[in-house]
Amino acid sequence: MPIFHLLLCSVVIFFVLYAPQPMLAQFAEHFAITPAKAGLLMTVTMLPLAVAPIFYGLVLTRFCKLIVLRNTMIALALCCTVIGVTQQFELFLAMRFIEGLLLPAALTSMTGYIGQTWQGQCLRKNMTWYVGSTIAGGYLGRALAANFATWWGFESFYLFNAVLLLVLALMVKPTYNKAINQAPFTSPRAYLKPLKSAKLLRLYGAVFCMFYCFSALLNYLPFILSNEYQVKDPKLIAWIYSGYLVGALISMVTPLLSKLTHNNWQILTTLFAIYSLTLLAMQWSSLSFFVAMFTLFCACMFMIHASAAPLANELSTANASITNGAYVSFYYCGGALGTFVPGFIYQIYGLAIFLISLLFVCMFGGYLVLQNQRTGSETQCGV
């Protein structure tokens, strides 16, 4: 499968995950529900993403990854079609949960295919491009959904997305690998055992903290903009998410950071430090400054993600599907909690305490990476 086709699939799949986010305040008003309940549209999708990828990683050691990817995209297209023709919040929520069960199959298929097909610097380059495609998909999904909702209703975007998913899925041409299909059965414990490495678990923990903070801020950004800065227009909120896109462009240069220093843990520690400082700086009550810090916050998150994903593959001795399945699980476990728990903090204590709570989580993630940096030179390059 050409990497360009895989990247297009990634972009459209991430439309599914993030499309509701900029419209959460609008959904809360439309369905007469609280911000925390509106946030469930993201939470119910991310909860399966927190636990299912390891299971899918085990499954994908036995099945063709491209077949799983194609069938999953067709199923996602059906879910989008149902959302596009319904007006009931409960059915909308149910479809989001089903999408959450399907999405980890697609994500683990794509990352597992990259980890299995390419090695060395080519792996880093293609994994970075993959991370960039997820960022582009997240941004475009938010921006297009908000604009479609303004002009034609949110249902129109879901129908449009269903068509894109179906077309790209039918273009996937699986390649059958007999060596994989005929591999001897190995117990799940044997597959998971290599993940017990302390350095790898600390890296996964840091990724959890990273995405917890990111999901929290992006999920409640519409409410922050509306309540703190009186920005209520969904189109304007969608354009403020442009900081997301700037971060995507910056993350493309992440592989060049290894030319400045061969200590990848040092790179991650520095990025976490800047990530933390942006959360601290957002306390200043200025919309333009908040947007600038939000943009830097996004850039740091994407660069951490683009550094950590290939590093996990280089560091792990487990099967590529298992390594990436565990990575996705830790990543979205943080995301699921980040879309829900901080909502109560924001509702009860306000923006300042909300940001401080995220700061502590972010600092703990930086501490985990710093521990890896101090363990010795053998971990510096991820091997």
pLDDT digit string (tens) for 64-115? 888 989 999 999 999 999 988 877 888 889 999 999 889 988 988 888 888 7
Token reading at 329: 């699980």
Measure the CA–CA gap between 338 and 171, rounded to whole angstroms: 35
Q: How far is CA 364 from the centre of its chain?
A: 20
Backbone angles phi, psi at 210, to 5 degrees: -60, -50
In whole angstroms, how far apart are CA 3 and each of 52, 66, 347?
25, 12, 43
In the chain, what is the straight-line distance between the N-terminal and C-terminal CA atoms, in Å?
28
The SS3 of residue 376 is coil
Name residue, tokens 């996937």.
172
Output the 3-class SS for 272-328.
HHHHHHHHHHCCCCCHHHHHHHHHHHHHHHHHHHHHHHHHHHHHCCCCHHHHHHHHH
Summarize pLDDT for 206-225 with one digit per residue, the tens: 999 999 999 899 888 888 88
User: What DSSP letter does each residue of 354-367 carry, written as one string?
Assistant: HHHHHHHHHHHHHH
Based on its alpha-carbon atoms, the radius of gyration of the chain, rounded to whole angstroms, reads: 20
- DSSP one-letter code for 262: S
Query: Contact, 379 vs 199, CB < 8 A?
Result: yes
pLDDT on residue 236: 74
Measure the CA–CA gap between 46 and 336, rounded to whole angstroms: 5
- What is the phi-psi region of residue 231: left when phi exceeds 0, alpha when psi lies from -120 to 50, beta otherwise? beta
Token reading at 381: 């390059």
Token reading at 192: 């998971």
- DSSP one-letter code for 185: P
Supply the pTM of this predicted model. 0.74
Query: Contact, 163 vs 16, CB < 8 A?
Result: no
pLDDT on residue 250: 72
State the Cα angle at 288 between 343 and 292, rounded to 5°: 75
Domains and CATH numbers, the chain: 3-174+191-379 (1.20.1250.20)
pLDDT on residue 15: 92
Which residues of the chain, if any, have pLDDT below 70? 53-54, 57-58, 61, 120-121, 175-192, 194, 234-235, 238, 247-248, 251, 254-255, 258-259, 261-262, 375-383
pLDDT on residue 189: 65
State the Cα angle at 118 between 114 and 119, rounded to 5°: 125
The SS3 of residue 379 is helix
pLDDT on residue 154: 75
pLDDT on residue 363: 96
